[in-house]
Amino acid sequence: MWRLTALLFACLALCAPPAQAQSLLAMVNNYRAARGLPGLALDARLSAAAQNQASWMAANNRCCDHSQGGASTAQSRANGFGYSAPLITEIIYLGGSAADAMAWWQTSATHTRELTRPTGGQAGIASISGKDRMAHVVVFGWTGGGSSSGASSQPAQQPAYVVGVDEFGNIKHEVQPGDDLGTIAWRYYGYQWDALPTIRALNKRSQSEDGLLVPGDILLIPPKAGTYTPVPGTASAQPTASASSTDSPATPERHSPAPNNI
């Protein structure tokens, strides 16, 4: 069944992408060009993966979930359509037009990091209308300018915002501009909202302090199965944004700017 579904989406992606998707790819590449960064080539396999995610978002009227309810990840979807790269990431939006999506992503440090990675690569784009909102998805395959075929032998890099682990294995997260406890929990590490009391207790913080984090603060995050586990002492110059492939919950209005996207 998965192979049949993969072939269907791949066939759809090989056709000329809709105007909204074409417009979004142009905006992404114009944004990169204005910063002296190489453009991203459209890849049919990544577009099929993007269409798969956008279709799920539109059908379920749901944003902030890169895992489709725990069924897949950005990487597994891209791999399922035959694409492999050293790093595969994804940004999503559920709301208005492609221009709205691009404008919203530029307000988020996490999404801006994805849009401005200095390495070369490919991108897959999808824009699909739902009941009353439009789902926009960009899937990035970061290859450093090399081929995207075949498995990579390069080890996973540790995000720059991870500065190590403590003696109990908890991740030491360095707070970034714009972070609060909720965004750190779901965007970077894929936790649901019911995990926040545990994270607060681990850091001896109260709920009233969730939005009082200062860039440079160190917050302890318990490791979670299926997420990146940092290796002490291996720093990376390029942070891996939370928008890549985490299992993110539906976002309460008080924690996220409208129209609630990650």
Per-residue pLDDT of the chain (262 residues; tens, 9 = 90+): 444 444 444 444 334 456 767 888 899 999 999 988 899 999 999 999 999 999 999 999 988 788 888 888 888 899 999 998 888 889 999 998 889 999 989 888 778 888 988 888 899 999 998 888 999 999 999 887 433 333 333 444 566 788 888 777 788 888 888 778 887 887 777 777 778 898 999 999 988 888 888 888 999 988 764 343 443 333 332 322 234 333 333 332 222 223 334 4
For residues 47 and 218, give the distance between their C-alpha atoms in angstroms, rounded to a whole number. 37
For residues 126 and 183, give the distance between their C-alpha atoms in angstroms, rounded to a whole number. 25
Sign of CA dihedral 170, 204, 245, 103: negative
Within 10 angstroms of residue 16's Cβ, the number of other Cβ atoms is: 7
DSSP-derived pairing of the beta strands 162-165 and 171-174: antiparallel
pTM of the model: 0.56
> Is there a single domain that holds both residue 112 and residue 193?
no
For residues 114 and 105, give the distance between their C-alpha atoms in angstroms, rounded to a whole number. 9
> Is there a single domain that holds both residue 96 and residue 170?
no
> Is there a single domain that holds both residue 46 and residue 122?
yes
Tell which of 114, 142, 170 closes a domain.
Answer: 142
Residue 114: phi, psi to the nearest 5? -70, -40
- Per the structure, the complete domain to which residue 193 belongs is given by 162-221
For residues 178 and 87, give the distance between their C-alpha atoms in angstroms, rounded to a whole number. 25
Length of the chain in residues, anyone?
262
